[in-house]
A and B are shown apart, each in its own frame.
Chain A
Amino acid sequence: MGTVVVGAVLVGVVTLIVRSMVKDKKNGKSLQCGGDCSHCGGHCSH
């Protein structure tokens, strides 16, 4: 019983990860910090 529940949770988590990765990919921002340093908050603090 526990196995089924844990397994279901795991499958759910994996699905969420894959979905978020697919979504990010569609938005054209696969794994990034926000990137452009001249746009970065740390760069232009005035």
Chain B
Amino acid sequence: MSVKIALAGNPNCGKTTLFNALTGSNQFVGNWPGVTVEKKEGKLKGHKDVTIMDLPGIYSLSPYTLEEIVARNYLINERPDAIINIVDGTNIERNLYLSTQIMELGIPVVMAVNMMDLVEKAGDKIHTDKLSKLLGCEVVEISALKGTGIQKAAEKAISLAERKNEVTPVHEFDSKVEDAITAVGTMLGMDIPEAQKRFFAIKLLEKDDKIKEQMKLVPDVSNEIKALEDAFDDDTESIITNERYVYISSIIGKCVTKGRKGGMTVSDKIDRWVTNRWLALPIFAAVMFIVYYVSITTVGAFLTDWTNDVLFGEIIPPAVEKLLVAVNCADWLQGLILDGIVAGVGAVLGFVPQMLVLFIFLAFLEGCGYMARVAFIMDRIFRKFGLSGKSFIPMLIGSGCGVPGIMASRTIESDRDRKMTIMTTTFVPCGAKLPIIALIAGAFFNNAGWVAWSAYFVGVVAIICSGIILKKTKMFSGEPAPFVMELPAYHMPTVGNVLRSMWERGWSFIKKAGTIILLSTIVLWFLMSFGWVDGKFGMLEAEQLNDSILASIGNVIAPIFAPLGWTKAGEGWKMAVAAITGLIAKENVVATFGMLFGFAEVAEDGSEIWGNLAQVMTPIAAYGFLVFNLLCAPCFAAMGAIKREMNNAKWFWFAIGYQCGLAYVVSLCIYQFGILFTGGGFGLWTVVAVVLLIAFLYMLFRPYKESKSLKVA
């Protein structure tokens, strides 16, 4: 028979490690229907008929966060045959809080006390036999990391599931609360089985509206609620939460013997320095500097140079060419493969090593617990412009690639903060925008270092201004959510976990090169190589580029960008086309210019086309072009990520529209004010730029009443 086992537990308790250990590579990752909470399912190793379901990490079964609602709907409606409740032994008191709620669901439960090795190391002892008796479920000691005890836990869960042993919660609350629960239990309809009565009764007493939708018959319990609230002088939700912790406090002394008391753990000692009042910010700056220095300039640059110059310079293209010549392939197809596909895809893959080095660092910082501290340190600043400390992590990752950056916004609980983070994350120049920066800096500004620095500066200012402007709009008004975050103890992440995390993020980038970019290079090549000459459609010679389909499309959209200074007669369409191909992937911009100016292969910074580019744009327009590409909607892949994370078409289009609008306005202002101050004269578009600037400043500085996060009763 087939058995379904759910893994439930707090975040950071080792659930994912246990899931990986139990299922191996046999996993299916998807999303829970309708929401962007990840759903992981796998088959237990050696048991084809046992499915393991990894529920999102949660602190409680309250109806307030998406993860909690998903987990509890699964537990109530799908009713797995057994639950393995993972409990972090080093932080057992708070972990047991969720356990008391899980016990009430009427599903067989095995409690797996994780990190037993660390508990023993600290000299503590957890008496699992007593824990088992006082909570009414089987308890197994495990170390998910070392793999000890996990088979036993799985086998226990299977045997419980087969015997259909329902747990009866043995924990008890205050007698007045128990009486109320019993009274409500008797009012419940027949559709609710005996074993789940306690759960539903408590949820009704807690005034949990979401649970009422799941019940056929909703009894009126307002008298019971009123009686309890009068007796305890508090709301029922708080009374029950309180009672749970009271029970846990009453048993914890019996179940846990503390070893040596006092003394600072290693984690405490590290934390004393790392989040020190004076040293925290300098240390943070130093860490960021090292991460970027190593991944962009030294190790990363070495690897990327090798990939670009050797692998995709001296090895692959000549080999492919030789092969194509050997099989006697037609010239046009050789052109498509070499100039289109190999050059385009190669330019993207060239970034992979750099990106992987960056992702190793970020995975390490996340795994060791430093990222939570970053959120702690930065929260005050980010609060000022409507974001949260946690917004910093997506932006850091976004400096490598926007796709995993946007994905990382999921850890932000507040809906409003998360949406705002998604909209602004891609303003940070990602790895793929670096070649555009190098191109513009080289072609117009003599490789000046300030161009790159200003690009990051523009990105940061765009985030800050957007935060302030957006938080004042109606769409983002409302109560900010609490910033209540666990700061997990520091620990050394395992090599396997760091590498897995690096690979998961890096893979999204590689996949993008192999799919969407490959296809777009083919389409682009086609659009460039075909067109109408003298009323006849056909393949073009290299010098007939101005007759290509691409040129026709470019000429249609070029007038839109004329106010930005992309105007040079007969050439303006090239900038428009480059910016449009940038929407497919930012890596395309340099490659597109290369193709448009008739170079089959250009270096990463496009040094071959610097001369051509300098002829078609003024430096001011070129800087505006750079800013437009930095701020406008990101690549297809990142837009897909935005769509998925917003999970709402209206919000998606709002985000894309806002990004493109901001990019257009900013580069319009740069160009118009640039030519005004360099004596270029005053025109209609200068007026427009002034009006837009005033509107922008109004949006930025208009009065706004900060809504406070608390409502003191």
User: Are the chains A and B members of one assembly?
Assistant: yes
- Whether B508 contacts A33 by the Cβ 8 Å rule is yes
Give the chain B neighbours of A41 by CB distance below 8 A.
16-17, 20, 496-497, 500-501, 504
Bitwise, A1-44 to B at CB < 8 A (1) or not (0) is: 11101110010001001101100000111111111111111111
Indicate which residue in A3, A20, A45 contacts B330 across the interface (CB closer than 8 Å): A3
The docked-state distance in angstroms from the alpha carbon of A21 to that of B403 is 16
Chain A residues with CB under 8 A of B393:
37
Per the bound structure, the CA–CA distance linking A28 and B29 in Å amounts to 10
Q: Is the CB of B333 within 8 A of A42?
A: no
Using known A-B contacts A6-B337, A41-B497, A46-B114, determine if residue A31 contacts B516 with beta carbons closer than 8 Å: yes
Please report the C-alpha to C-alpha distance between residue A11 and residue B144 in the assembled complex, in whole angstroms: 46
B366 touching A37 by the CB < 8 A rule? yes
Knowing A14-B522, A31-B508, say if A42 contacts B410 (CB, 8 Å). Answer: no
B23 to chain A, nearest CB (A): 13
Which residues on A sit within 8 Å (CB–CB) of B301? none
A20 to nearest B CB, angstroms?
Answer: 7
B407 proximal to A (CB < 8 A): yes
Contact present for A17 and B515 (CB under 8 Å): yes
In the complex, the chain B residue whose C-beta lies closest to that of A46 is: B14
Instruction: Please state if B505 and A18 are interface contacts (CB–CB under 8 Å).
Output: no
A39 near B16 (CB under 8 angstroms)?
yes
Assembly CA distance A20 to B338 (angstroms): 24
Nearest B residue to A41 by beta-carbon distance?
B500
Q: Which one of A2, A3, A29, A31 lies within 8 Å of B31 (CB-CB)?
A: A29
CB B504 to nearest CB in A, in angstroms, measures 4
Is B161 part of the contact surface with A, judged by Cβ < 8 Å?
Answer: no
**Cα distance, A40 to B363, chains bound together (Å):** 9
Known: A10-B337, A40-B366. A45 touches B505 (CB 8 A): no
Say which one of B163-171, B264-272, B321-329, B674-682 lies at the interface with A: B321-329
Minimal Cβ-Cβ distance residue in B for A5: B327
Contact residues in B for A46 (Cβ distance below 8 Å): 12-14, 17, 88, 114-115, 118, 144-145, 491
B residues within 8 A CB of A17? 514-515, 518-519
Residues in A with CB closer than 8 Å to B88 are 46
Nearest B residue to A2 by beta-carbon distance? B327
Closest to A3 in B: B330
| B17 and A33 form a contact (CB under 8 A) | no
A4 to B363 CA separation, bound complex (whole angstroms): 46
A2–B322 CA distance with the chains assembled, in angstroms: 13
Q: A3-B330, A42-B500 are in contact. Are A31 and B511 (CB under 8 A)?
A: yes
Closest to B334 in A: A6
Chain B residue at minimum C-beta to C-beta distance from A18: B519
A6-B337, A21-B515, A44-B15 known; A36+B145 contact, CB < 8 A: no
Question: CB-CB < 8 A to B367: which residues of A?
Answer: 42-45
Q: Which residues does chain A contribute within 8 Å of B56, judged by CB atoms?
A: 36, 38-39
- B407 and A35: CB pair below 8 A? yes
- Cross-chain contact A33 with B403 (CB below 8 angstroms): yes
State whether the Cβ of B575 lies closer than 8 Å to any Cβ in chain A. no
Give min CB distance, B415 to chain A, whole Å.
Answer: 16
Chain A's nearest CB lies how many Å from the CB of B247? 26
Q: Give min CB distance, A18 to chain B, whole Å.
A: 7
Q: How far is the CA of A39 from the CA of B505 in the complex (A)?
A: 13
CB-CB contacts of B389-428 with A at 8 A, as 1s and 0s? 0000100000000011001101100000000000000000
| Partner-binding segment picked from B238-246, B278-286, B606-614, B636-644 | B636-644
Cα–Cα, bound, A2→B323 (Å):
10
Are the CB atoms of A2 and B12 closer together than 8 Å?
no
Q: What are the residues of chain A within 8 A of B136 when measuring CB–CB? A: none
Bound form: Cα–Cα A31–B397 in Å: 16
Q: Name B32's closest neighbour in chain A (CB-CB).
A: A28
In the complex, chain B residues whose CB is within 8 Å of the CB of A38: 11-12, 56-57, 410-411
Give B512's nearest chain A residue, CB to CB. A31
B632: CB under 8 A from chain A?
A: no
B37: which A residues are within 8 A, CB to CB? 36
Q: Are A33 and B411 in contact (CB under 8 A)?
A: no
Q: How far is the CB of B612 from the nearest CB of chain A, in Å?
A: 30
- Give the distance in Å from the alpha carbon of A32 to the alpha carbon of B140 in the complex: 35
> Are A6's CB and B333's CB within 8 A?
yes
Whether B494 is near chain A, meaning CB under 8 Å from some CB there, is yes
Candidates A3, A20, A32; contact of B407 at CB < 8 Å: A32
- Are the CB atoms of B333 and A45 closer together than 8 Å? no
Q: In chain A, what residue has the closest Cβ to B403? A: A31
| B144 with A33: CB separation less than 8 A | no
A-B contact pairs, 19 of them (CB 8 A): A3-B328, A10-B333, A20-B515, A27-B30, A29-B29, A29-B30, A31-B516, A34-B504, A36-B37, A40-B501, A41-B16, A41-B17, A42-B367, A42-B500, A43-B497, A43-B501, A45-B367, A46-B115, A46-B491
Binding site for B on A (CB under 8 A): 1-3, 5-7, 10, 14, 17-18, 20-21, 27-46
Given pairs A2-B324, A33-B506, A44-B15, 7 additional interface contacts (CB within 8 A): A3-B329, A31-B516, A33-B403, A33-B404, A37-B408, A43-B367, A46-B14
Which 7 residue pairs of A and B lie closest in terms of their CB atoms, listed nearest first? A42-B501, A2-B327, A42-B363, A41-B500, A2-B328, A35-B407, A45-B493
